[in-house]
Chains A and B, each alone.
Chain A
């Protein structure tokens, strides 16, 4: 149980392109989803917390207009990297939890984004 699917797993595109990444909870309803960014050999850096039906809460230093998050349903959140540039190249990972409080986050398998 508690499976999170992330799509696509790998994207290569030209600079200036906008890229959408989907995160779905397959067998549970996720009240909250999280988006992380991970650089090679580093830990996960939280970008934003997304609650269904409300605006995402972004971490300090994360540009809201650059990284658009939509959480339209209890099973789907999307992250759009707008006008992506090479410095946006990274591994993006989403996670979801069943409810608030102390629960483990269940992670997707990440999206490798490479901007040329």
Chain B
């Protein structure tokens, strides 16, 4: 079946380094993608989104890259800070349903 998944369940980085979190999707009809950050005991928080007519979008310290050819999505966090430690979910939307990936836990070491 079609699914959204993540390459790495956990990622540990040094404070100040850049982080890259990857996500693979298989629904070719998906045209809208979102990254969420979820801290312990809280709901997911919107980080950044991208539509299928774009391949890159930048926010504050974050960049999302979309490669529709290989159905791959990534979230890049620049100068990772301890406050970035959380679980990150990608989500895809085909106009009807939104599906979430399994999540990647990012740990930032001081």
Q: Which residues of A are at the interface with B, using a C-beta cutoff of 8 A?
A: 4, 6, 42-44, 46, 93, 95, 101-102, 104-110, 112
Q: Is B13 an interface residue (CB 8 A)?
A: no
Interface size on B, residues (CB 8 A): 20
Query: Which residues does chain B contribute within 8 Å of A107, judged by CB atoms?
Result: 36, 43-46
Query: Which residues does chain A contribute within 8 Å of B102, judged by CB atoms?
Result: 42-43
Query: Which residues does chain A contribute within 8 Å of B59, judged by CB atoms?
Result: none
- Which 6 A-B pairs have CB atoms at the shortest separation, nearest pair first? A107-B43, A102-B32, A109-B43, A107-B44, A104-B46, A110-B43
Complex Cα–Cα for A112 and B100 (A):
20
Query: Which residues does chain B contribute within 8 Å of A108, judged by CB atoms?
Result: 43
- What is the minimal beta-carbon distance from A68 to any residue of chain B, in angstroms? 21
- What is the minimal beta-carbon distance from A62 to any residue of chain B, in angstroms? 15
- Apart from A4-B43, A43-B101, A112-B41, list 6 A-B contacts with CB within 8 A: A42-B103, A93-B44, A101-B95, A102-B31, A105-B46, A109-B43
Tell whether A102 pairs with B100 under 8 Å between CB atoms, given A109-B43, A110-B43, A112-B41.
no
Query: Which residues does chain A contribute within 8 Å of B95, judged by CB atoms?
Result: 101-102
- What is the minimal beta-carbon distance from A22 to any residue of chain B, in angstroms? 14
Query: Which residues does chain B contribute within 8 Å of A112, judged by CB atoms?
Result: 41
Tell whether A43 pairs with B89 under 8 Å between CB atoms, given A93-B44, A105-B98, A110-B42.
yes
Identify whether the interface residues of B are mostly helix, strand, loop, or mixed: strand
Query: Which residues does chain B contribute within 8 Å of A102, judged by CB atoms?
Result: 31-32, 51, 93, 95
Query: Which residues does chain B contribute within 8 Å of A106, judged by CB atoms?
Result: 46
Query: Which residues does chain B contribute within 8 Å of A44, judged by CB atoms?
Result: 44, 89, 100
Complex Cα–Cα for A93 and B98 (A):
15
- 8 Å CB interface, B59-110 against A: 89, 93, 95, 98, 100-103
Complex Cα–Cα for A91 and B108 (A):
25
Query: Which residues does chain B contribute within 8 Å of A93, judged by CB atoms?
Result: 43-44
Tell whether A109 pairs with B42 under 8 Å between CB atoms, given A43-B89, A44-B100.
yes
Q: Which residue of A lies closest to B6 (CB)?
A: A43
- What is the minimal beta-carbon distance from B110 to any residue of chain A, in angstroms? 23
